[in-house]
């Protein structure tokens, strides 16, 4: 009974910026980790950035220095600020979260529906 709702994708020119948001809704005891993955046409889904409950972050090498992941614990929301976008960043971006929804069950892994990011002139 947890849903991840994404927003913020769109079309942007090379060098531009976008900010993605992902809010977790439903029965939530604890969010262990939240992150972003992406999948370009014909390619496998890949990790973009993640953040765990202690605040540590991890980035794919190709986005380091350009993308920033952050989290608002009060809103159960994770953000991905994307700057200096390149055409190769074009993909469907998926939010991912490991959430404990009940005190009586282990944590589960959840995915958002995906949001398209297109970088093109």
Contact 38/116 with Cβ under 8 angstroms? Answer: no
Kindly tell me if the per-residue pLDDT of 1 is higher than 90. no
- Do strands 115-119 and 77-82 pair parallel, antiparallel, or not at all (unpaired)? unpaired
Q: What is the pLDDT of residues 24-71, one digit of tens each?
A: 999 999 999 999 999 999 999 999 999 997 889 999 999 999 999 999
Q: The tokens 């999948």 sit on which residue?
A: 39
Q: What is the pLDDT of residues 68-93, one digit of tens each?
A: 999 999 999 999 999 999 999 999 99
């Amino acid at each position: 009974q947890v849903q991840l709702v994404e927003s913020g994708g769109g079309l942007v020119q090379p060098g531009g910026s976008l900010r993605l948001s992902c809010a977790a809704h439903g029965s939530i005891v604890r969010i262990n980790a939240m992150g972003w993955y992406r999948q370009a046409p014909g390619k496998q889904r890949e990790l973009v950035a993640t953040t765990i409950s202690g605040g540590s972050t991890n980035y794919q090498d190709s986005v380091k220095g350009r993308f920033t992941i952050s989290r608002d614990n009060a809103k159960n929301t994770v953000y991905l600020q994307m700057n200096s976008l390149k055409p190769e960043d074009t993909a469907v971006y998926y939010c991912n979260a490991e959430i404990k929804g009940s005190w009586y069950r282990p944590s589960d892994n959840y995915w958002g529906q995906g949001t398209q990011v297109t970088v093109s002139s």
